[in-house]
Structure 1
Amino acid sequence: MDFVKGQVNLDEDILVVDKPVGWTSHDVVAKIRGELGKHETRSTKLETKIGHGGTLDPFATGVLLILVGKATRRFEEIKTWDKEYVMTVKLGAATTTGDPEGEVTETRPVTGVKRERVERALRDLTGFYQQQVPAYSAVKVGGERLYALAREGKEVKLPRRQVEIKEIELVDLQGLSLKVRVVCGSGTYMRQLAVDIGEKLDLPAHAAALRRTRVGDYELS
């Protein structure tokens, strides 16, 4: 699988990659570094920096911006850009990670979830709200990454951060699953948003599938 299509400006460029499921963002960067290495000259080989413009979880797919050369200096700007996602939320089951890769921690029968009730829950989450940081995240508490503490079985008080849900709409509702389109500001954890939607419906929930469709003005062609 090759991610690089066409010409790349090794001095400064932003590539739009459709990240496959199962790949980490680092995996994609490493693969592209190898692909671009074929085009580097002796004078550019040690100078070309490559990074990404915002992590996508391994279970997620879609837009991953790859920053090449001087574009890596724009990371702080790029990470503030709005992002758009399509997410499938599975109701009736919670997991340790808030996504399908975690262990199931709670299940509950799901009955009588009506479209009107879901839309009301989504309206309640629109705008700014204090979102709890997931236990499995790279945020540091007491100098340690939360995911490391979680893997060690240590319980800590999870911090909350203000996030902004600019748009959220129900795309589909079938059985135990609902699909939503979300436009959000930086720092929003989509896995946690799935959990929060479940809480509004008094149900355990997790993100079963996630696709990022846009970052700023960049989207898949």
Structure 2
Amino acid sequence: MTKSKKKMFDFEAGEILLIAKPIGWTSFDVVNKLKKALKIKKVGHTGTLDPFAAGLLIVLTGRKTKESAAFQQLPKTYRGILELGKTTDTLDIEGKTTETKPVPDLTKEHVEKVLKSFMGESLQVPPVYSALKIRGERAYKLARRNKPVHLEPRKIEIYAIQLLDFLGDKIYFQVNCSKGTYIRSLGRDIAERLETVGYIKALVRTQIGQYSLDDAVDVNEFIDSVGQKDH
């Protein structure tokens, strides 16, 4: 009899699941799908990915959920596309255009220099469309009702940032950053230093600490594999 190579999971005792979140799903969509499929109460992710973004989502189950805070502290790596010349209310591709502005005649060297200027610690103003709470209510809910949203700058740190390519009005970049860094805000601030406006057109989270997107699985494929194991 051939020994099965499939991993045996103990979801109640606790597992670390590396899930590749698809575009269009919220992080809670992934959690709820897993919770229902695995039939356990304790399932949680360790750091939100916006619906427009794809990439690595770490999901903890069972007693492992108690370690969530430690996972949230891990540095994160993203690859993104910043489009210059217009911006949106959400600072990403899903929002409504709120401003357009000419893009200066930029060189790749200048763009690279501006990106490098964000290295280290700084204060960053989060997007108004964020899950941060103001007087007990999520900022994005206030923004949707056209209520004034004032968010205080928060300390973040950029450990590394790299220009991957610069084509016309699009900046392709990779960034490794601390917990609490909003890439949408980073895109806004990069565009401002380039004397224009911008929004994040695409975003993928490729790494959280030592955990890589290369080792992640699609949520539906994972559920199917667990189901096959039980038959």
TM-score after normalising by structure 1: 0.90
Aligned to 2:72: 79
After the TM superposition, which segments of 4 or more aligned residues of structure 1 sit over 6 Å from their partners?
none
For residues 37 and 48 of structure 2, the distance between their equivalents in structure 1, rounded to whole angstroms, comes to 20
Of 157-166 and 27-36, the range deviating more from structure 2? 27-36
1:86-109 CA-partner distances (Å, limit 9, x unpaired): 011010111000100110001122
1:111-170 CA-partner distances (Å, limit 9, x unpaired): 411111111111211111100011011112233221121111112332110000000010
CA deviation after TM superposition for structure 1 residue 177, in Å: 0.6
For residues 189 and 80 of structure 2, the distance between their equivalents in structure 1, rounded to whole angstroms, comes to 13
Aligned to 1:128: 121
Aligned to 1:40: none
Extract unaligned runs of 5+ from structure 2.
1-5, 216-231
Matching of residues 190-201 of structure 1 within 5 Å: 190-201=183-194
How many residue pairs get matched? 208
CA deviation after TM superposition for structure 1 residue 36, in Å: 1.7
For residues 159 and 127 of structure 1, the distance between their equivalents in structure 2, rounded to whole angstroms, comes to 19
Aligned to 1:209: 202
Q: Does 1:51 align with 2:53?
A: no
Aligned to 2:23: 21
Structure 2 residue matching 1:199: 3-state secondary structure: helix
Structure 1 residue matching 2:15: 3-state secondary structure: strand
Extract unaligned runs of 5+ from structure 1.
38-44
Q: Does 1:176 align with 2:169?
A: yes
Of 156-165 and 76-85, the range deviating more from structure 2? 156-165
Identity among equivalent pairs (%): 43
Structure 2 residue matching 1:89: 3-state secondary structure: strand
For residues 168 and 18 of structure 2, the distance between their equivalents in structure 1, rounded to whole angstroms, comes to 34
Q: CA RMSD in A?
A: 1.4
TM-score after normalising by structure 2: 0.86
For residues 36 and 137 of structure 2, the distance between their equivalents in structure 1, rounded to whole angstroms, comes to 32
Aligned to 1:160: 153
Structure 2 residue matching 1:12: 3-state secondary structure: coil
Aligned to 1:144: 137
Contact 2:77–2:174 (8 Å) recurs in 1: yes
For residues 104 and 205 of structure 2, the distance between their equivalents in structure 1, rounded to whole angstroms, comes to 30
One-letter code of the match for 1:8?
F
Q: 1:113 to 1:6 in 2, by over 3 A?
A: farther
Structure 2 residue matching 1:90: 3-state secondary structure: strand
Structure 1 residue matching 2:114: 3-state secondary structure: helix
Aligned to 2:57: 64
Q: 1:6 to 1:100 in 2, by over 3 A?
A: farther
For residues 86 and 33 of structure 1, the distance between their equivalents in structure 2, rounded to whole angstroms, comes to 29
CA deviation after TM superposition for structure 1 residue 6, in Å: 5.0
Q: Does 1:93 align with 2:86?
A: yes
For residues 59 and 200 of structure 1, the distance between their equivalents in structure 2, rounded to whole angstroms, comes to 25
For residues 49 and 158 of structure 2, the distance between their equivalents in structure 1, rounded to whole angstroms, comes to 18
Of 52-61 and 146-155, the range deviating more from structure 2? 146-155
1:51-83 CA-partner distances (Å, limit 9, x unpaired): 101100000001000101111101111100000
Structure 2 residue matching 1:149: 3-state secondary structure: helix
